[in-house]
Structure 1
Amino acid sequence: MFNKKAGMIAAVVLSTSILATACSTNTDKTAAPNVSSETAKPAKQETLRILSNVAGGKTPEENVLFEKEVERLTGIKVTIEKPAADYDKKLYAAISAGEKYDLIYMGKGNMDVLVDQGALMPLNDKIKASKILSDPSVIPTKEWDMITYKNGQIFSVFNKSEGGTLPTVRQDWMDKLKLQQPKSLEDFYQVLKAFKEKDPDGNGKDDTYGLSTAGLYDIQGFMSAAGVKYKYVIDASGKRSIPYATEAAVPIYEWFAKLYKEGILDPNFATNDSAKMRELFLTNRVGMVTYWDAWVGLFNNMKKTDDPNFKAKAIAGAVGPDGKIMLRRGDPSVWGIPVNAEHADTAMKFLEFWHSEKGNILSTLGIEGDDYTVKDGKYTLTDEGVKHGMDHGAPFPNNTNFKNPIGTLPGALEGRQVIFDNNATIENSTKDWPSAEKIVTNYAFQAMMGKLPAADAVKKMNDELKAAKLID
């Protein structure tokens, strides 16, 4: 168990290690005689070069403060590089070019590719030797299964505890229109239709939609009605299929086509990015979106001042043929150490810190004095901290001992519970998914917008995937 007391012990151990290094000139028998402690060389500064698109400051200026805060708390001088865009391309390009990073942040899909390339260092022995990272109360044992490869090899350490994606509804609109939480696909249709037709924002205009998405991201809560899963499903014999490209998915595409034809589905869903979708939700233009559970709390936090009646709520998806709901749990976000890292041991020290109480405070609340203040043991967010939503890389740490001293944003914990209670599993990408995704997306959009009958779209989708040897 890693708590405050354990943090103090770790700090003492680290300080003792540094002191021993600093004094080594006095204990080395080959050292020159009469070398006093005053003239001994100081310990070399531990450094890390980190590539990340999530952990760190919210702006370039705050990122500098974040680096200094890590150094204050750990003694490690870090450089955190956060590309402004195209993170995956930067990550792959850097590894291919042999750039030397000590830690890289990535999703499981990225990790699958890099493990296949032999670019990451196996970490089993280092994790086993760590009292912190091997503690099941810090990282639950079953979580490691999600990032364990063949022969039991582990190439990363978790960044945070992932939730998942699910339908998020304007509960204040539900209450106003006296609607019940939907369970079947027909229930969802009736709720979304009411959001479109019954003026839920009360402005007297026909300017609302029932549902918006950012493309296929993430319609899993509705595909649940057919019991089909996004991306790859690989059976015991290794045979690959993509359920979204099977006949089972046809009724769901037809359901979307009905929403699109009736103006219930945001007509720009296929070209939306997540920012545009979020804006529609926050500006009273749409009653339901499909997004991360953590954003339930962020939505409520963003609107609490200018619209106290606003209430976002996470709901489960549509019940499937087996009576269960099939949601998506987010791919694990992890830290890996490249095989050419120059400071692997220091990287492990950072990862131990990241999963400690002080690291949890940094990864959630942020930087003391910038994002929050502490007075008489009470933590208070600054105005800047409120804007940052208690997310500096890990809004929900893996450490089960950690309790956020400020609490969680309204609706966030309830959203996570919906994910954990409803068969939410990670998706299987494989290195072929980027090519397969283009084909799936193309024909799914044509079916959802009624440009092709759903059955025809699925057949074409399936035929192209087979021809490209992307499914078996």
Structure 2
Amino acid sequence: MNGKLRKTSASVISCALLASLLAGCTSNSSQQTASQEKSTEKLTSIPLPIVDKPLTLTMFVAMDPKVAATMKNYNEIAEFKEMEKRTGIHIDFIHPASMDAANIKEQFNLMVASGNLPDLIYYSWINDYNGGPNKAIKDGVIIPLNDLIDKYSPNLKKFMNSDPRVNKQLRTDDGTLYIYPEAQSPDQYAKVNPNPNPAFQTFGWQIRQDWLEKLNLKSPETIDDWYEVLKAFKTKNPSGSGKNDEIPLAPKGAGDLQNWIRAWGINYGWYHDGNTVKFGPYTPEYKEALTTLAKWYKEGLIDPDFALTDAKQFDTKVMGNRAGAWVGATSGTFGRFVQLMKAKDPTVKLLGTVPPYVAGTKSYNFNVDEIKVSNGIGVAISAKSKHPKEAAMWLDYGYSPEGALLNTFGIEGQSYKMVNGSPQLLPEVTNNPQGLSIDEALSKYTRGSGGGPYVQTPELWQQRMSLPEQQKIIGLWKAGSYDRTMPPGVTPTIQESTRMASIMSTVNTYKDEQFIKMVMGQVPISEFDNYLKTLKGMGIEEAIKIQQAAYDRYMAR
């Protein structure tokens, strides 16, 4: 596609989005319902239906790939049709034209610039809004929710009061509430993780266990172990193809490979060491990590096309019996491959490994699911909504027991059934006749496998992790320490956030480019000091001070 055509397509997409927003936001401007009357009463439950007359609210939200596998719009998902029946409120979903993160942000910015805002906006307010949530409020994009939640959201209030961490994570430093969050039940993982440690790892390292057994190798733990295993995968033809075409380590894009720097006790971004905030790509350990990865790449242990590998190509390499190891999620990646590959060849064995670490140190995790709410991701009510009270009540229903069950499991008799008082997914979901993964099949009925403004019913994870292989990797992945992970909800001030965004936009672009170039040998590791000087010139040390101040304030809340 030439540049002129790309610009034309982008203009068409932008105009279409803005037109749909304008139409959606004005469609109900003349509606008046009994429930719109002002009231100082605080609800103790959500009355159903919420409105006396049908009401339509609009919501901006990026399409989830699992939904996109079978549908074109969230309006087609069964749970939202049922929500409309129960509440009397229809949601007109507005999706960006692409699921690419850059496109989502571009379309969000176009929407904000137009001033034609929907009633509800699902977004990452801490990380992706320049200035953070308080700036979004100051800009007149969204409204503070303290009063609305206090009066019209009894279920979310109850959830917030159930765990002090929730209350802490949901607020900015000045106590402002701004979203209805993706949330987890306090006993979210109890049935699949009875260990007293509440953390539950859903992302990690995956390997061809049958290849290890064929070569009489133990599951790797240290980086030195991994080097020996990857060399064996490359030279000893464990696939049995006779072609020696194995890809020992097969990352899906540079982001997957960047996870490996965690073996040096650092994160590819912010983390804390004790009470000190650090930026992983600006540490001496990062040089050691790059040195090792560059060596692996030079020796052919890493897919030479890792930086360009998309999801479809990644699937082809793994399913084609060529990939030896990779990283991914418990369900969408690991569970799917286990089911599909074993159906094709029963001798295939997949398993996980503990998070890798450098000999003499310890293993670290930086994806922790013990948190109760997501890091600034959730649904905000826009400043242009004419129905904030009704929006607050509709959103709060997702935190009630019946709303949570609907949002998590879908429709009884279609996607689940009750067995001894516990919801159980039906074969339509767990063994889909069209070959869909559990998450893809469930996404026809609910957002339970993705995320949304509700508290997730805990039994779902037990069933999404029902395979014996998944049960095993849960224990392996959580073997690493969680004590360096930044807590969710760390929020810079408006001024800090604006400055941080300015610095990190340049820093992140540069460090991502240099990561690929240094691993591939296009930039020698001997240039690392110049790399550090460049980051310093871009203001990374100022950004670290800002993040440190925000972290200190969070810990003092």
TM-score band by shorter chain is 0.7 to 0.9
**Any residues of structure 2 matched to 1:44-443 within 5 Å, and which?**
44-54=53-63, 57-58=67-68, 59-61=70-72, 63-66=74-77, 67-85=80-98, 86-107=103-124, 108-111=126-129, 113-115=131-133, 116-118=135-137, 119-129=141-151, 130-136=153-159, 140-161=163-184, 165-219=203-257, 221-232=259-270, 242-294=279-331, 295-319=333-357, 322-329=361-368, 332=375, 333-366=377-410, 372=415, 374=417, 379-382=425-428, 383=433, 386-387=436-437, 388-391=440-443, 392-395=446-449, 399=455, 402-404=458-460, 407-409=463-465, 410=467, 411-412=469-470, 422-424=480-482, 425-426=485-486, 430-431=500-501, 432-443=503-514
C-alpha distance in 2 between matches for 1:138 and 1:194: 53
Q: Which runs of 5+ in 1 are unaligned?
A: 1-8, 19-42
With over 3 angstroms needed to count, the CA separation of the structure-2 counterparts of 1:247 and 1:402, relative to structure 1, is: closer
Per the TM alignment, residue 185 of structure 1 is displaced from its structure 2 partner at its CA by 0.8
Conserved? CA contact 1:155–1:336, under 8 Å:
yes
> For the structure 1 residues 403 and 260, does the alpha-carbon distance in structure 2 shift closer, same or farther, using more than 3 Å as the test?
same
Deviation per CA, 1:405-445: give whole Å up to 9, x if none: 98224355665666655345358895243321111012111
Q: CA deviation at 1:265?
A: 0.1
| Aligned-CA RMSD value | 3.7
Contact 1:363 1:395 in 2 (8 A): no
> Equivalents in 1 of 2:201, 2:107: separation in Å?
26
Instruction: Report the alpha carbon displacement of residue 266 of structure 1 after superposing the two structures with TM.
Output: 0.3
Q: SS state of the match for residue 308, structure 2?
A: coil
**Structure that is richer in helix per residue:** 2
Distance 1:415 1:356 in 2: 32
TM-score, normalised on structure 1? 0.78
The one of 48, 51, 55 equivalent to 1:14 is 48
CA shift in 2, pair 1:171/1:10, >3 Å: farther
Q: Which residue of 1 aligns with 2:531?
A: 461
The one-letter amino acid paired with 1:134 is K
Aligned equivalents of 1:90 and 1:60: distance in 2?
21
Displacement over 6 Å in runs of 4+: 234-237, 375-378
Q: 1:226 to 1:310 in 2, by over 3 A?
A: same
8 Å CA contact 1:47–1:343 kept in 2: the answer is: no
User: 1:196–1:345: structure 2 CA closer, same or farther, 3 Å change rule?
Assistant: farther
User: In the alignment, what sits opposite 1:448?
Assistant: 519
Q: Is the 8 A contact 2:410 2:416 kept in 1?
A: no
Q: Secondary structure at the match of 1:218?
A: helix
Looking at structure 1, the residues matched to 297 and 517 of structure 2 have their Cα atoms a distance apart, in angstroms, of 11
- Name the CA shift for 1:406/1:467 in 2 (closer, same or farther; >3 Å): closer
Cα distance in 1 between the residues matched to 2:434 and 2:60:
24
Q: Could you tell which deviates more after superposition, 201-210 or 297-306? A: 297-306
Contact 2:235 2:244 in 1 (8 A): yes
Tell me the SS of whatever aligns to 1:50.
strand
Alpha-carbon shift at residue 263 of structure 1 (Å): 1.0
SS at structure 1 position matched to 2:383: coil
Number of the residue aligned with 2:493: none
Q: What per-residue deviation string (whole Å, max 9, x for no partner) do you get for residues 340-377 of structure 1?
A: 233322332332233345544554455667x7365998
Once the two structures are superposed, what CA deviation does each residue of 1:148-200 show, in whole Å capped at 9, x if it has no partner?
A: 32213232222255966422223333333333222211111122222222223
Aligned length: 435
How many Å apart are 1:217 and its aligned residue?
Answer: 1.2
Letter in 2 for 1:422: G
Deviates more, 1:419-428 or 1:93-102: 419-428
- The AA in structure 1 aligned to 2:127 is G
Q: State the shift of 1:220 in Å.
A: 5.3
TM-score (norm 2): 0.67
Deviations along 1:82-131, whole A, 9 cap, x unmatched? 22312222122212322222222223522565523433322234444533
* CA-CA distance at 1:254 after TM superposition: 1.2
Q: Measure the CA separation in 1 of the matches of 2:267 and 2:109.
A: 28
1:34 maps to none
Identity among equivalent positions (%) equals 22
**Cα–Cα, structure 1 residues 57 and 267, in superposed 2: closer, same or farther, change >3 Å?**
closer
Query: Which letter does structure 2 place at the counterpart of 1:65?
Result: E
Aligned to 1:159, the other structure's residue is in SS state: strand
- Post-superposition offset of 1:279: 3.5
In 1, Cα distance between equivalents of 2:322 and 2:62: 30
Could you tell me whether the CA contact under 8 Å between 2:53 and 2:88 is conserved in 1?
no
Which letter does structure 1 place at the counterpart of 2:290? Answer: Y
SS in 2 for 1:404: helix
Alpha-carbon distance in structure 1 between the residues aligned to 2:218 and 2:297? 23
